[in-house]
Amino acid sequence: MKRLLKVLLGIFLIILLDQTTKGALLYLITGSAFVHGPAWSVVPVPYLMAHVTNFFNIVFTWNPGTAFSLFRALGDNAPLVMIVATATIIAFIFYYLVRHAKSYERVPLVLIVGGAIGNLIDRIRFGAVVDFLDLHIGGAHWPAFNVADTFITIGVILYILNWWLARRRCLNNYKG
């Protein structure tokens, strides 16, 4: 029970941080954190809000798609398919996290689930995800992303790293 509370608290804090940053951005742009998202098919050009450093900007853009434009061929059904698919994946990961995850898997999975729920909330509220972090080198820009994406990425990297280290430890114990 104590572990479940820690997991839920971690997920909640990630969602809170993600939604707070997106809400603050929307407030700066519109004067309200409670706005309507874009039409499903509208993909506006990112709006530059602040040039922070030579490699980092704050921008504003709606992301109605997924990484690498997956599900584009689904047309008008794409948003609903993405919401259902994302919610299903989150449910499976959460179940595994609570019931079967090894100690080294818990933190990475909390990061992944918290970030995924943060983006799922945007998809349900707006039909698209708010992206605002823009890394670039000269004129070459990485696609804009958000706090939830950052947590998901860090979680995946930690999960793979922890899995690799645990496997290596197991193989070393087997040999030795």
Residues forming beta bridges with residue 141, ordered by sequence position: 136
Which residues, 6+ apart, have CB-to-CB distance to 156 below 8 Å? 108, 112
**Residue 134 annotated to the active site:** no
Catalytic residue (one of 18, 122, 134, 149) = 149
**Residue 149 annotated to the active site:** yes
Catalytic residue (one of 18, 122, 131, 134) = 131
Element housing 60 (H / E): strand 56-63
69 neighbors 157 (Cβ within 8 angstroms): no
Residues 84 and 161: their CA atoms lie apart, in Å, by: 29
Residues 70 and 66: their CA atoms lie apart, in Å, by: 6
Cα radius of gyration rounded to whole Å, the chain: 18
* Catalytic residue positions, numbered: 131, 149
